[in-house]
């Protein structure tokens, strides 16, 4: 992975990714040599000391400098590591950088038990006894205790090749940039999870999907990973907004864009996707490339841009972002990552950055108001950014007015982004989505299926389609769950059918609308379902009215009490 910026205020870039600390006479020509080679082949910039530096008793100044210029240290604890004053001095400097500058530490216990270090066995104490500098001895002792308590890798009679592959995979995942862009809140953990799946240390071809609902941050995550990994590949291409570009310009234009970004000096003249397939597979098959396909919504996008794994050279990585899990399941992807919504702390921080240009909320009225907005956004980065920018610079009175308006009329920009997934549904899936949005969010899946079966909506396949399009989820207890903004989007679609006359809408769920229709007898055959709070049922003096669907099917309309 690329070298990482310092976590200090200077944010200066580090010269090395890894400082490799080890006892030369134990492991230089075997394990450490193999590890260093694997790190280098994976593009991880690693400092390993030259044997000539160890000629004297005192540690060479170059090693202190290398530690300070490295993002992390990998320490190979071997049988006699702790018996070397040179290694102990090196270790103490590593711990100092860890405590003062955020330097990461990854211990490897190679044929040594971590507990031996923590218990400070007799031979280690003998090393301490040979030195008169009590301050230095205490520094060594503290460093040993601290590092031995860090979770690391323990060989434990495993094959070394397998052991090293695991180390490379995990270090590659950890070696993502600490996110210094102030508006990329909550990205560090996401990147680490994604890198574990990308596994840049393996010399194979991998296709990784990033799947989730609109506005969850798929493109932002893919762009950040792309920028960080680019230098490890011969060529790269990031094709944005594939759904939109494909509809406007066609598949051939996307193929030409892919080739042009990888082969800058070439001009490609072909006129159908079959020619494009042949050229891509021929020209990229021996090239290590990084490709991101952003916002894929059609299997043809994958067929004409990704094809098969053997279209690309060994070491290549292809990242696909989509709202549609089924596309990834039906194509030979190696793994899939699903970003989650932001936790409340990160959500508040992102909102504050947009609303106040600070990662903390000002005092006074804005604290409570900010909590209202963050709760409404439900951890969705898109909503937090849009609402934060909208409220930025406005006073508390205007904030209150905007929040009250959100309760009645959701933000158009947010819902338009979310509606893209709904518009791509078949008619039956649209009806199932609207029923869940209006009536069944948070209800048991099997109960909902029974109701929808009566409407001939074929809910088994319909619900699965909605899940695969990232519009709903089923939790571990088999309850249906829809993000509150998707629910609001569905309900707005229903309201828009007839804003002023609820009796001409297909679904009724708000008490005042239900009350109006049932007491004024304004229901029409358009109504397909009504939900009533049974606690209020007895206080509502209405006449029971029979509704029929416009299709003439009598039993599909229902009161849900």
Which residue reads 């530690």 in tokens?
Answer: 67
Q: Which distant-in-sequence residues (6+ apart) come within 8 Å of 200 by Cβ?
A: 1, 42, 43, 172, 229, 232, 317
Under 8 Å between Cβ of 105 and 153: no
Q: Which distant-in-sequence residues (6+ apart) come within 8 Å of 501 by Cβ?
A: 522
* Rounded Cα gap, residues 135 and 274, in angstroms: 73
* Rounded Cα gap, residues 438 and 328, in angstroms: 29
Under 8 Å between Cβ of 175 and 44: yes
Under 8 Å between Cβ of 298 and 246: yes
Q: What is the DSSP string of 64-121?
A: HHHHHTEEEEEEEE-TTGGG-HHHHHHHHHHHHHHHHH--EEEEEESSS-HHHHHHT-
Under 8 Å between Cβ of 536 and 508: no
* Rounded Cα gap, residues 113 and 148, in angstroms: 10
Long-range contacts of 416-419 (CB under 8 A, 24+ apart): 417/214, 417/215, 417/382, 418/213, 418/214, 418/215, 418/485, 418/486, 418/489, 419/489, 419/493
Buried b (16+ CB within 10 A) or exposed e, 213-228: bbbbbbbbbbbbbbeb
Q: Say whether 275 is catalytic.
A: no
Q: Choose among 174, 152, 166, 187: nearest CA to 1.
A: 174
Strands 70-77 and 104-109: parallel
How many CB atoms lie under 10 A from the CB of residue 514?
Answer: 21
Which listed residue (89, 90, 93, 528) is catalytic?
90
What percent of the chain is helix, strand and coil (3-state, nearest 5)? 50, 10, 35
**DSSP conformational letter for 479:** B
Q: Choose among 70, 153, 65: nearest CA to 104.
A: 70
* Rounded Cα gap, residues 340 and 348, in angstroms: 16
Q: How far apart are the first and last CA of the chain?
A: 57
Instruction: For Cα atoms 321, 324, 328, give the angle at the middle one, nearest 5 degrees.
Output: 70
Q: Choose among 391, 422, 235: nearest CA to 318.
A: 235
Most distant CA atoms of the chain, gap in Å:
99
Tell the burial category of 267 from Cβ atoms under 10 Å away from its Cβ (0-12, 13-18, 19+).
Answer: exposed
What are the structure tokens assigned to 517, written together?
A: 């229709």
- Which residues are tagged catalytic? 90
């Amino acid at each position: 992975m690329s070298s990482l910026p310092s976590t200090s205020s200077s944010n200066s870039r580090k010269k090395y990714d890894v400082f490799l600390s080890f006892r030369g006479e134990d492991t230089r020509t075997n394990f450490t040599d193999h590890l260093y080679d694997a790190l280098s082949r994976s593009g991880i910039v690693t400092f390993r000391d030259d044997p000539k530096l160890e000629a004297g008793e005192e540690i060479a100044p170059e090693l202190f400098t290398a530690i300070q210029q490295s993002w992390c240290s990998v320490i190979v604890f071997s049988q006699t590591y702790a018996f070397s004053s040179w290694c102990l001095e090196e270790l103490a400097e590593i711990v100092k950088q860890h405590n003062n500058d955020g330097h990461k530490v990854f211990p490897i216990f190679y044929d040594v038990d971590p507990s031996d270090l923590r218990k400070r066995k007799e031979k280690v104490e003998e090393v301490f006894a040979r030195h008169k500098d009590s301050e230095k001895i205490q520094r060594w002792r503290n460093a040993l205790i601290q590092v031995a308590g860090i979770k690391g890798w323990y060989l434990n009679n495993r094959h070394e090749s397998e052991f090293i592959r695991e180390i490379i995979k995990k270090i590659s995942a950890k070696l993502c940039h600490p996110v210094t862009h102030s508006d990329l809140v909550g990205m560090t953990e996401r990147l680490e999870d994604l890198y574990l799946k990308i596994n840049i240390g393996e010399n194979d071809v991998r296709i990784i999907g990033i799947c989730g609902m609109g506005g969850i941050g798929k493109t932002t995550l893919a762009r950040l990973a792309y920028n960080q990994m680019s230098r490890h590949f011969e060529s790269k291409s990031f094709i944005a907004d594939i759904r939109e570009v494909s509809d406007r310009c066609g598949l051939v234009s996307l193929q030409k864009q892919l080739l042009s970004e990888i082969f800058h000096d070439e001009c490609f003249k072909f006129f159908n996707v079959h020619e494009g397939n042949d050229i891509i597979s021929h020209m990229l098959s021996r090239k290590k490339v990084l490709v991101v396909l952003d916002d894929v919504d059609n299997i043809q996008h994958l067929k004409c841009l990704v094809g098969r794994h053997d279209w690309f050279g060994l070491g290549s990585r292809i990242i696909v972002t989509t709202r549609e899990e089924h596309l990834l399941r039906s194509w030979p992807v190696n793994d899939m990552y699903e970003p989650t919504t932001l936790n409340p702390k990160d959500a508040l921080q992102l909102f504050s950055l947009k609303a106040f240009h600070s990662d903390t909320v000002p005092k006074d009225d804005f604290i409570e108001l900010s909590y209202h907005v963050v709760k409404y956004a439900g951890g969705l980065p898109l909503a937090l950014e849009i609402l934060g920018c909208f409220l930025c610079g406005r006073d508390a009175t205007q904030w209150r007015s905007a929040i009250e308006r959100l309760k009645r009329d959701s933000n158009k920009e947010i819902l338009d982004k979310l509606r893209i997934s709904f518009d791509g549904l078949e008619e039956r899936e649209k009806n199932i989505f609207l029923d869940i949005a209006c009536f069944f969010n948070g209800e048991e899946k099997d109960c909902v299926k029974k109701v929808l079966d009566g409407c001939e909506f074929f809910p088994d396949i319909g619900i699965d389609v909605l899940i695969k399009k990232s519009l709903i989820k089923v939790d571990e207890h088999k309850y249906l769950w829809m993000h509150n903004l998707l629910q609001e989007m569905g309900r707005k679609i229903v309201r828009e059918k007839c804003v002023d006359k609820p009796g001409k809408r297909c679904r009724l769920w708000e008490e005042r609308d239900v009350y109006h229709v049932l007491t004024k007898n304004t229901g029409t055959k358009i109504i397909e379902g009504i939900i009533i709070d049974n606690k209020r049922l007895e206080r509502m003096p209405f006449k029971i009215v029979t509704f029929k669907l416009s299709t003439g099917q009598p039993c599909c309309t229902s009161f849900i009490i």
